[in-house]
Amino acid sequence: MFKKQRVGLQLSRQAKIALTISTMLVIIGIPTAVQSMTLTETAPSESVTISLFQSILIGLGYYLSQGPWLAGLGFVTLYRPLVAGLFVGLILGDPAQGALLGAAINLIYLGFISAGGAIPGDPGLAGWVGTTIALAGNLNYGAALALAVPIGLLGTVIWNARMTVDAAFMHMADRAADKADIGGVVRANILYPQIWLFLITFVPVTIAVYLGASFIGDVINGFPVWLLGGLAIAGGVLPAIGIAMNMKFIFMGTAIPYFFVGYLVMVVLGNQVSIMVLAVIGVALAFLHVAFLGDRVKTAAKPESAKLTKAKAQEKEATR
């Protein structure tokens, strides 16, 4: 009984800490976004024209981010807005700006997780198409962030369509396996799903980028300053939400001290230490963390619920 109360109290404290930090991030993010509004007050520059070949490359990049090719690394590299922004920038001739826009969009998806076969948004589509539209319309970071969110939500339609039709291919593979048709199993597991994925990723993105990017850029350049300023405010708050989601998982176990160590290092040293150096230190600390904890590293996860603990105890008693 007392153990349950302690666990509940611990979760309550963690929730309060996460809520407090999230609120602080939002408060800090709003004035930052207001400051970014000044970027929209400058005269809009000429929109970038995207050729058919460039559109094909962008559509192909989004397809590869979803596909099993490249040794499966597409989902952990090309699917991320930062990497997508870099490649879009290379395709459109401005890799530096593309990487900056992709990095800004990536902040929203710091706490991205796909649970139970569902996704809250599509970082890949937000990165590839969002960066393309931002570069074509010469948008600042705040406006690009605000536009990337609905684009990412559209990606859930592609994801659901993919999963729904792939279920039919699974039954086709089962029927082929019952007939000992190896070729049919291979086609149902590889050929048909990839054709379907190509049709719902490459084709719409290529068409949308080729026909819509310049048009969207012209429309955005015609927007009043106050509207773009509002988008900048929304875009400035969104990264705070992404950071807060990421911190929600940090404040669930033994990884909490490392957050404060990294924060204090950045506050004390400032620009004297690069992010790459911090990343190397973080990897080293993670290795030491696992090495010293050993089997107890599971305590870094969220504490088990009372029902789950009771079910495990009953299972252990049954096996005796």
Both 80 and 139 in one domain: the answer is yes
What pLDDT sits at residue 121?
A: 79
**pLDDT tens track for 210-258:** 887 666 556 556 667 776 666 556 655 656 666 777 777 777 767 778 8
Band the pLDDT of 38: cuts 50, 70, 90.
Answer: very low
What pLDDT sits at residue 206?
A: 92
Tallying the residues shown for the chain, one arrives at 320
DSSP secondary structure letters along 256-316: HHHHHHHHHHHHHHGGGS-HHHHHHHHHHHHHHHHHHHGGGGGGGSPPPPHHHHHHHHHHH
Both 180 and 265 in one domain: the answer is no
Q: What is the mean pLDDT of residues 8-20?
A: 51
Question: What CA–CA distance (Å, rounded) separates 300 from 292?
Answer: 13
Both 118 and 145 in one domain: the answer is yes
What pLDDT sits at residue 142?
A: 76
* Residue pair 142/236 in contact by the 8 Å Cβ criterion: yes
Q: What is the mean pLDDT of residues 41-60?
A: 75
Does the residue 307 lie in any domain? no
Both 272 and 290 in one domain: the answer is yes
What pLDDT sits at residue 19?
A: 47
Does the residue 318 lie in any domain? no
Looking at the structure of the chain, the number of domains it has is 2
Q: How many CB atoms lie within 10 A of CB 208?
A: 20
Question: What CA–CA distance (Å, rounded) separates 18 from 226?
Answer: 33
Residue 118, SS3 per DSSP: strand
pLDDT at 33 over 50: no
Q: What is the mean pLDDT of residues 32-53?
A: 53
| Cα Rg of the chain, angstroms | 23
What pLDDT sits at residue 151?
A: 82
Both 258 and 214 in one domain: the answer is no
The owner of tokens 């992709």 is 102
Does the residue 283 lie in any domain? yes
**pLDDT tens track for 149-188:** 778 878 888 888 888 899 899 999 999 999 999 999 999 9
* Residue pair 217/266 in contact by the 8 Å Cβ criterion: no
From 250, 266, 281, give the residue that closes a domain: 250
Both 210 and 151 in one domain: the answer is yes
Q: Could you tell me which of 253, 267, 237 has the C-alpha nearest to residue 298?
A: 253
DSSP secondary structure letters along 301-318: SPPPPHHHHHHHHHHHHH
Does the residue 62 lie in any domain? yes
Range with the lowest mean pLDDT among 122-126, 273-277, 280-284? 273-277
Both 241 and 259 in one domain: the answer is no
- What's the predicted TM-score (pTM) here? 0.61
- CA dihedral (212, 214, 217, 218) positive or negative: negative
Band the pLDDT of 199: cuts 50, 70, 90.
Answer: very high
In the chain, the largest separation of any two C-alpha atoms, in whole Å, equals: 76
Query: CA of 171: how far to CAs of 158, 166, 195, 199, in Å?
Result: 21, 9, 17, 21
Both 239 and 164 in one domain: the answer is yes
Q: What is the mean pLDDT of residues 29-47?
A: 41
Does the residue 317 lie in any domain? no
Q: Of 203 and 4, which is predicted with more confidence?
A: 203
From 218, 250, 282, give the residue that closes a domain: 250
Both 239 and 267 in one domain: the answer is no
What pLDDT sits at residue 22?
A: 45
Q: Of 116 and 71, which is predicted with more confidence?
A: 71
Band the pLDDT of 54: cuts 50, 70, 90.
Answer: very high
Band the pLDDT of 63: cuts 50, 70, 90.
Answer: very high
Q: Of 197 and 120, which is predicted with more confidence?
A: 197
Both 124 and 268 in one domain: the answer is no
Does the residue 309 lie in any domain? no
Does the residue 320 lie in any domain? no
Q: What is the mean pLDDT of residues 113-142?
A: 81
Residue 115, SS3 per DSSP: strand
Question: What CA–CA distance (Å, rounded) separates 88 from 242?
Answer: 23
Band the pLDDT of 39: cuts 50, 70, 90.
Answer: very low
Tokens representing 123 are 């970082």
Both 277 and 245 in one domain: the answer is no
Does the residue 151 lie in any domain? yes
What pLDDT sits at residue 8?
A: 46
Which range of residues forms the domain containing residue 268? 253-301
List residues bridging with 118 in a β-sheet.
Answer: 115
Question: What CA–CA distance (Å, rounded) separates 133 from 84?
Answer: 13
Both 199 and 265 in one domain: the answer is no
What pLDDT sits at residue 267?
A: 75
Q: What is the mean pLDDT of residues 270-282?
A: 75
pLDDT at 289 over 70: yes
**Percent of the residues in the chain that have a pLDDT greater than 90, as a whole number:** 27
Q: How far is CA 45 from the centre of its chain?
A: 29
**Percent of the residues in the chain that have a pLDDT greater than 70, as a whole number:** 63
Q: Could you tell me which of 275, 253, 250 has the C-alpha nearest to residue 265?
A: 275
